[in-house]
């Protein structure tokens, strides 16, 4: 696993390849936007939120449903804002709606990282253990 991550950092060309009618499909292009990482980050965000609620002794299955619905609703609102902004500014782009959704979904990755950092600080009160947790997070 670490070899795969380290090897991905050696990539020199990060641009998305295009065909005549649009971007190449993700199964043929490594840099094409797909929804795998944003979807997994969304699910992990919900699981981590359940963990935090459990640590605060406020866990309720309804809370997870409310959190999932509100996060999805905010993603749709964000997508609408992006689409309206592109329309109003008359920017010509080959990005489709799902591509914009894929790029917008990466915010959950950072949110998960910050949440794990807060959990580490709450649990350990030791900066060295927080640094160790950072190392573990980035090694995967």
Interval 90-110: pLDDT, tens: 988 877 888 888 888 889 988
Same domain, yes or no, for 23 and 52? no
Task: Check whether residue 66 and residue 127 sit in a common domain.
Answer: yes
Whether residues 83 and 121 share a domain: the answer is: yes
pLDDT for 94: 76
Question: What phi, psi does 18 have (nearest 5°)?
Answer: -125, 145
For residue 75, the cross-strand partners are none
Q: Are residues 62 and 23 in the same domain?
A: no
Same domain, 130 and 113: yes
Instruction: Say if residue 5's pLDDT is above 80.
Output: no
pLDDT tens-digit readout, 68-81: 999 999 999 999 99
> Residue 136's pLDDT is what?
73
Instruction: Give me 48's structure tokens.
Output: 């981590």
| The residue to which tokens 């190449």 are assigned | 24
* Number of domains the chain contains: 2
DSSP the chain: -HHHHHHHTT----PPPB-SSSBPPTTT-TTS--SHHHHHHHHHHHHHHHHHHHHTT---HHHHHHHHHHHHHHHHHHHHHHHHHHHHTT------HHHHHHHHTTHHHHHHHHHHHHHHHHHH--HHHHHHHHHHHHH-
Same domain, 65 and 126: yes
C-alpha–C-alpha distance, residues 137 and 120, integer Å = 12
> Domain containing 133: what range?
35-139
More confident residue, 123 or 105: 105
Predicted local confidence at residue 1, as pLDDT: 44
Q: Are 87 and 133 part of one and the same domain? A: yes
**What is the structure's pLDDT at 81?**
94
74 and 119 fall within a common domain? yes
Burial class (CB in 10 A: 0-12, 13-18, 19+), 119: middle
The Cα 63–Cα 109 span in angstroms is 21
Domain match, 17 and 45 both:
no
The model's pLDDT over 34-64, given as tens digits with 9 standing for 90+, comes to 788 899 999 999 999 998 899 889 999 999 9
Q: Are residues 73 and 126 in the same domain?
A: yes
Per-chain mean pLDDT for the chain: 81
Q: What proportion of the chain, given as a percentage, has pLDDT over 90?
A: 34
């Amino acid at each position: 696993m670490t070899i795969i991550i380290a090897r991905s950092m050696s990539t020199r060309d990060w641009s998305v390849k295009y065909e005549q009618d649009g971007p190449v499909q993700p199964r043929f292009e490594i840099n094409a936007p797909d929804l795998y990482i944003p979807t997994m980050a969304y699910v992990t965000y919900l699981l981590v939120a359940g963990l935090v609620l459990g640590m605060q002794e406020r866990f309720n299955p309804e809370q997870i449903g409310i959190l999932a619905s509100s996060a999805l609703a905010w993603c749709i609102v964000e997508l609408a804002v992006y689409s309206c902004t592109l329309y109003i500014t008359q920017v010509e782009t080959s990005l489709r709606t799902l591509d914009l959704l894929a790029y917008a979904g990466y915010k959950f990755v950072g949110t998960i990282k910050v949440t794990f950092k807060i959990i580490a600080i709450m649990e350990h009160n030791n900066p060295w253990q927080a640094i160790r947790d950072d190392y573990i997070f980035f090694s995967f």
